[in-house]
Amino acid sequence: MITMFKPYVSEKVAPALTEILKTSWIGQGPHVDKVEEKFEKMFDTFGALTLNSCTSALHLALILSDLGEGDEVITTPMTCSATNMPILYEKARPVFADIQKSSLNIDPKDIKKKLTSKTKAIMVVHWGGEPCDMDEILAIAKEAKVPVIEDAAHALGAKYKAKYIGAVSDFTCFSFQAIKQITTVDGGILTCKDDAHYKRGKLLRWYGIDRDFKGDIYWKFKVEEAGFKYHMNDVTATMLSIQLDDLEKVNSRRREIVKRYREALKDVKGLTLLEKKPDRESGNWLFTTLVERRDDFTKMLKASDIETHMVHVRCDVYPIFGGKRLDLPAMNEVEPKYVSIPLHQGLTDDDVDKVVKTIKKGW
C-alpha cells in the first residue's frame, strides 16, 4: 500500500533519547531553552515558546489576543477542527470566511466582509503548506486593529516573500504531530512578535508560574494568572532538535515529489491542480487536487493500493460549530472535489510513478 503519510524519525533520535532518559532531569529544562533558540535562528523569528501541541499554541495565542466571551474570530472552515476549538474554549464565536478555489486558503476579500465591532482576531491556515495572501490579510488586520494568528501546522519551512512563516504575523503556531513534515509524536511551537506576549505566554504554558524566578528560595514565586500544563519537556525537545536538523532534507524530497506530480498531472482531464504563486514557497505537507467524481477517483486508486484522503472536513458542518453548511460559495463548490494523494519523504520514485500512471488511466 502506498500510504498518504509516513512519519519521519531520524536514526539519531533513539540513541539521543536513551541518553537523556538516563539523566536526572527529563521535564522542562535546558534542552527546551536550546531548541527554542535554535528554532528562532533557523526561521529568523522571535519569541518561540515550545508547547505540547499546536492546539495549545492556538489557545495561548487567542488568550494573548485578549479574546473573551462573546467576541468573534474570523477564521477558515477549511481546516482541522483543532484550529477552531480553542475559540470555543474562550466562549467566543468562530466566524467562517470563504476560501479561494485556487488555493483552498482563506479569502482576504471575505475576511473584510465578515469584520464587525466584535472581531478580536483573524486566524488563517496555510492549506497544505502554501502560504495565504498575507499582505492583504495583514493590511485588513491593521485597519481593524486586530492581531493575525497563523495556524502553520502545514507550513513548517514555508516562506512568504522571502520571509519564513513564523516571522510574518503577531502569532504563528506550528505542529510536530505524528504525520507532519517532522514529528516529535506530539508537540508545537508558538512564536510571538511582541515581547510582552512572549513573557505572558511563557507563564501561561506552565500554570502561570515564573520558571525563571531568581529569589533566595526558588519556590517563593507568585502566581497571578491561571495557566495551563502546555509546556514541552526535555525529552521531546531533544527529539525536536534532532528532527529540525533534517527538515531541509525532508522538505527537499517533498519538493521533488510535488514538482513531478505537477508536471505529470497538469493536463489530466477531470483534475485541477491548485495554484502555486511565485512569491512564496510551500511547506508541501499535502498535495491536494480538485477532481471530478471524487468517489470514483478514490475507489480507483484504492483498487491499486494507493491511499487518498480529504484530510479535513469543513468545520462549519460539525454540530459544535453550528452544524450548518454555510453560504460560502467557493467552499461549497470545492467541497465535493478536493482530495489529497500521497506525499511524504518515504515515497520512492517508483511509488510516485505508480500514482501518476494510475491517475492517468482515468476513473
Instruction: HSE, CB side, 13 Å, CA atoms: give it for residue 95.
Output: 18
User: Cα–Cα distance between 127 and 106 in angstroms, integer?
Assistant: 9
User: Model's pTM, two decimal places?
Assistant: 0.96
User: Cα–Cα distance between 195 and 14 in angstroms, integer?
Assistant: 35
Model confidence over 291-342: pLDDT tens digits?
A: 999 999 999 999 999 999 999 999 999 999 999 999 999 999 999 999 999 9
User: Cα–Cα distance between 102 and 64 in angstroms, integer?
Assistant: 32
User: Cα–Cα distance between 208 and 189 in angstroms, integer?
Assistant: 18
Residue with cell 454540530: 319
User: Cα–Cα distance between 27 and 36 in angstroms, integer?
Assistant: 15
Those residues of the chain that have pLDDT short of 70 are 213-218
User: Cα–Cα distance between 1 and 305 in angstroms, integer?
Assistant: 5
The dihedral region occupied by 275, where left means phi > 0, alpha psi between -120 and 50, and beta the remainder, is beta
Cα 174 from chain centroid (whole Å): 5
User: Cα–Cα distance between 257 and 19 in angstroms, integer?
Assistant: 35
pLDDT at 216: 63
* CATH numbers and ranges of domains, the chain: 13-245 (3.40.640.10), 248-360 (3.90.1150.10)
| 3-state SS class at 199 | helix
pLDDT at 213: 60
pLDDT at 24: 87
User: Cα–Cα distance between 294 and 285 in angstroms, integer?
Assistant: 21
Cβ atoms of 131 and 275 within 8 Å: the answer is no
User: Cα–Cα distance between 190 and 206 in angstroms, integer?
Assistant: 14
Model confidence over 71-81: pLDDT tens digits?
A: 999 999 999 99
User: Cα–Cα distance between 55 and 190 in angstroms, integer?
Assistant: 10
pLDDT at 55: 99
pLDDT at 4: 98
pLDDT at 215: 58
pLDDT at 217: 60
Cell output for 171: 502569532
User: Cα–Cα distance between 111 and 99 in angstroms, integer?
Assistant: 9
